[in-house]
Chain A
Amino acid sequence: DAGVIQSPRHEVTEMGQEVTLRCKPISGHNSLFWYRQTMMRGLELLIYFNNNVPIDDSGMPEDRFSAKMPNASFSTLKIQPSEPRDSAVYFCASSSRVGYTFGSGTRLTVV
């Protein structure tokens, strides 16, 4: 099993540009989570899906952020337009009943 796969690993973009982060969960896991890691707030839950349906998006910072899960094997987190304060490491995780498995993260830098 390749684990949770995130792409890209690093992204540098200019303020105002659209950014799309991608995640492939572990096959058979029915829940998928997007987290953001910052020094000040640690790991914040942005949104999570169960069986491809968004369950809780209360952590999404503002309308510039959107997430989709069109099928059980793929999810995207989009930021449009991006701002410097969005710079952080974004993690995707998937879970079965046993627990979470995280991907390696995408380090986003908005300049």
Chain B
Amino acid sequence: DQQVKQNSPSLSVQEGRISILNCDYTNSMFDYFLWYKKYPAEGPTFLISISSIKDKNEDGRFTVFLNKSAKHLSLHIVPSQPGDSAVYFCAASPGNEKLTFGTGTRLTIIP
């Protein structure tokens, strides 16, 4: 039972354009959401997060949007850069330290 779903295994975007990565969740108890970025042969690293009391959080080129009624969040990267090519994991927490991760989306930025 996959409580956090990333339905797009891969995404290719041209450099300079917007990248949009999507994530859906099923557990209504989740109230904190995070995005992690993973390069090959490295562990995931924290990118950005959002609490359920907000619907948007922005950090430089990265913005996360949360739609609680749809149980959907998205990560926007603009403008996309070659260094953004990586696997992106969506994660959710019910307010404790336990994170449930999605299956990941491989983003490729085309120069």
Contact = CB atoms under 8 A, between A and B. Distances in A.
A31 B43 CA distance: 17
A43 B2 CA distance: 11
A91 B45 CA distance: 12
A56 B43 contact: no
Nearest to A10: B41
> Secondary structure of the B side of the interface?
loop
A34 interface: no
A45 B34 contact: no
A5 to B, nearest CB: 11
Interface residues of B, number: 20
A45 B99 contact: yes
Contacts of A33: 97, 99
Interface of A: 4, 31, 33, 35, 39-45, 48, 50, 56, 91, 93, 95, 99-105
Contact of B97 (A40, A48, A102, A103): A48
10 contacts: A39-B103, A41-B2, A42-B6, A42-B101, A45-B100, A48-B98, A50-B97, A99-B46, A103-B43, A105-B41
Most chain A CB within a 10 A radius of its CB, from B43, B45, B46: B43
A14 B64 CA distance: 44
A91 B98 contact: no
A45 B2 CA distance: 12
Interface of B: 2, 6, 34, 41-46, 49, 89, 91, 97-104
Most chain B CB within a 10 A radius of its CB, from A42, A103, A105: A42
B89 A99 contact: no
A43 B101 contact: yes
A105 B42 CA distance: 7
Nearest to A44: B101
A42 to B, nearest CB: 3
A105 B43 contact: yes
Nearest to A93: B43
Contacts of B100: 45
